[in-house]
Amino acid sequence: MKRLLVLTRHGQSAFNSKNLFTGWRDPELTARGVAEAQAAGRQLKRAGLSFDVAFTSELVRAQHTCALMLDVMGLATIPVVRDVALNERDYGDLAGLDKDEARMRWGDAQVHQWRRSYDVRPPGGESLKDTAARVLPFYIAAILPRVMRGERVLVAAHGNSLRALVMVLDRLDSEAVADLEIRTGVPLVYRLAADTTVTEKSVLPPDEAGG
């Protein structure tokens, strides 16, 4: 039994393109983001992969990415489960602010700590630890059982909700996860063993050709 789990961060959003903190704000994909999502679908199809079910968040950039990927793969009719547990980390008071302006206001070190540390919250927002506290129970209860039954599962979500998952799958500690960057539109392909640990991981390269 090949227990397939693929994680993909949404394509570039309008806030990404403007260097803004996004969090639970709900911007759409840019043209580049649409292209990234379609390219991810092509790469998965070329790799001979298919899916039985997809999971995504309650935010439109992840939902649109998921739909574009599945459409390219000819899988537009498979079930798609949307849940707030997979939403991006809530950046609280930083949401909508320019990242460079935030650095000027609070300093590079403080903004870096808010963005990359495991357990430091931005004002009014969530830490990565807080994000993991909602993502991981949902993964264990809703996603993992389907993978273990042999269903092929796609998760289209966000940089920090996926960092929380990858931290567990790749067995990273709180220091190592600070350096983890998940690129937009680049699928992470996992195969799981019978004990739910990872037996194989691959990162599909970006489809630079766009076709």
Catalytic machinery residues: 10, 88
Enumerate residues 6+ apart whose C-beta is below 8 A from 107: none
d(CA 99, CA 108): 10
CB 30 within 8 A of CB 96: no
d(CA 23, CA 74): 30
Orientation angle between helical segments 159-169 and 128-138, nearest 10 degrees: 70
Enumerate residues 6+ apart whose C-beta is below 8 A from 120: 113, 114, 127
